[in-house]
Amino acid sequence: MPRVPLEPRFTIEYLSVLDSDGNLDTTLEPQISPDDLKRLYRAMLLGRRLDERMVRLQRQGRIGTFAPIKGQEASQMGSVFTLRPTDWMVPSFRETGAMLWRGWPIEKILLFFAGYLEGGQPAPDHHDLPITVPVATQLPHAVGLAYAAQYRGDDAIVMAYFGDGATSEGDFHEALNFAGVWHVPIVFVCQNNQWAISVPLKKQTHSRTLAQKALAYGFPGIQVDGNDVLAVYAASREAVERARAGDGPTLIECVTYRLGVHTTADDPTRYRSDEEVKEWVRKDPLTRFSAYLQKRNLLEEGLEEKLDDEIAAAVKRFEAAAVADPLTMFDHVYAELPPHLVTQREEMVQRVRSRVIEPPAGGETEQLESPPLRGQRRTSRWPS
C-alpha cells in the first residue's frame, strides 16, 4: 500500500558545557557574571548542606518524611536562576533548592516537613505554588497559571518541575497537550533522575528520550546534562526567552541522578547497585562546578561553615515554634465541610481535649506531649 511521509525523522539535541571533570567547552560557555556564578554555587552548596542536615533531623524524629535533593542541585539552580521574581515557580516535592533560591526561609521548609500547615503557605509576594506530593497533579495547574498570564497580557512565565515518573501520568500528557494548543508561556523542567522510586526509567517508557515527548504536542524539547549547571542554565534561559517572547512552551529533560534515597522512607540498596551509584558520584554537580570555579579563582574559603551556621540558626527558629494545631487540617479544602468531615473534626476535638489534664485549683493546664512523628524514637539510648 503506498504511503506518504508527513514528518521527516525528528531530532533531539543534547547540551553539555562542563564535563564530569569540570573541563569547559569554551564555545558553549554562557555569559554569567562572577558574582552570579558565586551565588549559584552558594545556593547549590546550601541545598546540599541543608539536605544532609534534614536527613539527620528526620532520623532523630525532629521532622517527618521528606525527599532529599542530593545530586540534583544543578538541575534546580541552573533553571530557577533564569526566572524573575514576578514569574511563577511550580514545584513538585523535591525542589528544596529551587525554593531556597526563591526566598523560602529554611525554618518554613522545616515546618512543612514537620506537619505544620503554615510551612506550605507561600508568602504574599511569592509567585510560587506550594509543594505538591501527588505525582504530576501540579502540571495542569501550572498550565492554567500560564494561560492566565497570557490572557491578562502579563509578561510573566511559568516554570514547572517534575520527575521522570511523572511522565507516565495522565496529568503530564494533558498539561503538555493544553500547553501546546494554547501556546502558553511555560517551561517544563523534568528532572530525570533515572528512578521513579524503585522503577527504572527503562520500565517507564520505550522512548529514547523524555524530551522527544514534547514534539508530539507541537513544541520543542531538549535534553541537557542535568549535573552541569551551565548547560541547564543555557537551555533554561533560551526556553524562558522563547516563552516570554510569545513563542510558546518548551520541555527540558535534565539527565541527572538521585544520589540518596527517594524519600527518607526508602531503602535504595534494595533495587540499585553500589557500582551504579559510584559512577554517578563521579559526575557530582557540585564537584564539577567547584572545579570550574577553582580555575576562575571564584571559590570562597569557609563557605561551608558559614552555611552550616545559617542552617543551625534556622533549625533553632523552627524548633521554637509552638505546637501545631491538628484541627487546621480541616480548614482549607472545603468552604463548607461535608457531614462526614464534620464528624471527623468533632472526633478530633474530643481527642485533643482528652489529652489535656484538668488543672488543679489555681494551677495551670498541663498538656501531654504530642504524638510521635513517623519513625520517631520514643526511647533514649542515653541515661536520663
pLDDT digits (tens, 9 = 90+) for 214-253: 999 999 999 999 999 999 999 999 999 999 999 999 999 9
Range from 175-184, 353-362, 367-376 carrying the lowest mean pLDDT = 367-376
Q: Which residues of 368-378 are buried (b: 16+ CB within 10 A; e: fewer)?
A: eeeeeeeeeee
pLDDT band at 370 (very low <50, low <70, confident <90, very high): low
The mean per-residue pLDDT over the stretch 164-175 comes to 97
pLDDT band at 75 (very low <50, low <70, confident <90, very high): very high
pLDDT band at 374 (very low <50, low <70, confident <90, very high): very low
Q: Catalytic: 258?
A: yes
**Burial degree of 270 (CB within 10 A; 0-12, 13-18, 19+):** exposed
pLDDT digit string, tens, across residues 93-129 = 999 999 999 999 999 999 999 989 889 999 999 999 9
pLDDT at 359: 47
73 grid coordinates: 542541585
Helices of type H across the chain = 34-59, 73-80, 96-101, 106-113, 138-152, 170-182, 213-216, 229-244, 274-281, 285-295, 303-319, 339-354
pTM: predicted TM-score of the whole model, two decimal places: 0.89
- Give percent above pLDDT 90 in the chain: 83
Catalytic position from the list 53, 262, 288, 292: 262
pLDDT band at 369 (very low <50, low <70, confident <90, very high): low
Strand-pair partners of 89: 128, 159
pLDDT at 382: 47
Catalytic position from the list 53, 127, 258, 288: 258
Catalytic position from the list 271, 332, 334, 351: 271
Q: What is the largest CA-CA distance in the chain?
A: 95
Tell me how many degrees the CA angle 273-74-55 measures, rounded to the nearest 5: 60
Strand-pair partners of 251: 188, 221
Q: Catalytic: 208?
A: no
Cα 53 vs. chain centroid, distance in angstroms?
17
pLDDT digit string, tens, across residues 255-274 = 999 999 999 999 999 999 99
The mean per-residue pLDDT over the stretch 351-367 comes to 60
Cα 361 vs. chain centroid, distance in angstroms?
51
69 grid coordinates: 535533593
**H or E stretch covering 114:** none
Residue partners of 338: CB distance under 8 A and separation at least 6: none
The mean per-residue pLDDT over the stretch 137-164 comes to 97
Q: Catalytic: 233?
A: no
Q: Measured in Å, how far apart are the chain's first and last C-alpha atoms?
A: 85
Residue 353 has pLDDT above 90, yes or no: no
